[in-house]
Structure 1
Amino acid sequence: MLHGYRAAGRGARRRSLVTAVIVAALALLSAHVAEVDPARLWTHLGGFLNYFDRLLTLESGGGRVWTDPGEWLWGWKKWGLLLADTLLIAYVGTALGAIGGFLLSFVAAANLVRNPWLRGTARRVLEFCRTVPDIVFALIFVIAFGLGPVPGVLAIAIHSMGALGKLFSEVVENIDRKPVEGAVASGASWPAMVRFAVLPQVLPNFASYALLRFEVNVRQASVLGFVGAGGIGQDLIEAIRKFYYNDVAAILLMIILTVMLIDLATERLRHWLIGAMERPA
Structure 2
Amino acid sequence: MRGLTPLSPEREAALSGLYAAATGAARRRTLAGFALVAALALVAGLVAEVRPLVFAENIGKFTAYIQQILPPISLEHPLEDVRSWYWGLPKWLGLLGETLLMAYLGTLLGGLAGFALSFVAAANLVRSRLLRVGAKRLLELCRTVPEVVFALIFVIAFGLGPMVGVLAIAIHTTGALGKLFSEVVENIDMRPVEGLSASGATWVQTVRFAVLPQVLSNFASYALLRFEINVRGAGVMGFVGAGGIGQEFLVAIRNFYYADVSAILVLIILTVFCIDLATERVRHRLIGAEQAR
Which TM-score band (shorter chain)? over 0.9
Distance (Å, rounded) in 1 between the aligned partners of 2:232 and 2:47: 31
Q: Which runs of 5+ in 1 are unaligned?
A: none
In 2, Cα distance between the equivalents of 1:44 and 1:187?
A: 70
Quote the residue 1:52 is aligned against: 66
Give the aligned partner of residue 196 of structure 2: 183
| 1:11 CA drift (Å) | 3.4
Listed as ranges, the matches of 1:113-152 within 5 Å are 113-152=126-165
Quote the Cα distance in structure 2 between the aligned partners of 1:4 and 1:68: 75
Give the Cα–Cα distance (whole angstroms) in 2 for the partners of residues 20 and 279 of structure 1. Answer: 41
Equivalent residue of 1:68, what SS? helix
Q: In structure 1, the residue corresponding to 2:87 is in which secondary structure?
A: coil
Deviation string, structure 1 residues 39-96 (Cα, Å, up to 9, x no partner): 22222111122111212143x99x9x99921121111111011000000000000000
Q: Deviations for 1:173-218, whole angstroms, at most 9, x for unmatched residues?
A: 0000000000100000000000000011011100110000000000
Aligned residue-pair number:
277
CA distance in 1, matches of 2:239, 2:181: 30
* 1:77-126 CA distance string (max 9 Å, x none): 11011000000000000000000000000000000001011111111111
Scaled by the length of structure 2, what TM-score is found? 0.89
Residue range with higher mean Cα deviation, 34-43 or 130-139: 34-43
Structure-to-structure mapping, 1:70-85, within 5 angstroms: 70-85=83-98
Q: Aligned-pair distance for 1:142?
A: 1.3
* Counterpart in the other structure of 2:49: 35
* Residue identity matched to 2:155: V
1:23 to 34, 37, 41: 37
Query: Is the contact made by 1:66 and 1:72 (CA closer than 8 Å) also made in structure 2?
Result: no
2:215 corresponds to:
202
Which one-letter code corresponds to 2:69 in the other structure? L
- Take 1:66 and 1:40, find their aligned partners in 2: how far apart are those partners? 41
Preserved contact between residue 108 and residue 120 of structure 1 (Cα < 8 Å): yes
- Secondary structure at the residue paired with 1:44? helix
| 3-state DSSP of counterpart to 1:198 | helix
Corresponding residue for residue 119 of structure 2: 106
Q: Output the amino acid matched with 1:55.
A: I
Kindly provide the amino acid, as one letter, of the partner of residue 45 in structure 2: A
Among candidates 142, 145, 155, match of residue 168 of structure 2: 155
C-alpha distance 263-66 of structure 1, shift in aligned 2 (>3 A): farther
Equivalent position of 1:14 in the other structure: 28
1:94, 1:18 → 2: CA distance? Answer: 43
User: 1:245 Cα deviation (Å)?
Assistant: 1.2
> After superposition, what is the alpha-carbon deviation per residue over 1:209-253, rounded to whole angstroms, capped at 9, x for unaligned?
000000000000000011110100010000011111111111011
Which of the numbers 247, 269, 279 marks the counterpart of 1:266?
279
Q: Equivalent residue of 1:110, what SS?
A: coil
User: In structure 2, what is the Cα distance between the partners aligned to 1:116 and 1:209?
Assistant: 26
Residues 160 and 242 in structure 2, CA contact (< 8 A), matched pair in contact too: yes
Give the distance between the partners of 1:270 and 1:34, measured in 2 at CA.
37
**Which of 223, 233, 249 lines up with 2:246 in the alignment?**
233
State the Cα distance separating 1:3 from its structure 2 match.
6.1
Taking only aligned residues, the RMSD between alpha carbons, in angstroms, comes to 1.9
Q: What's the secondary structure of 2:125's corresponding residue?
A: coil
Q: Over alpha carbons, which structure has the higher Rg?
A: 2
CA distance in 1, matches of 2:273, 2:234: 15
Q: How many angstroms apart in 1 are the aligned matches of 2:114 and 2:65? A: 41
- Which runs of 5 or more residues in structure 2 are unaligned? 1-14
Q: CA deviation at 1:31?
A: 1.8
- Distance in 2 (CA, whole Å) between partners of 1:99 and 1:247 is 37
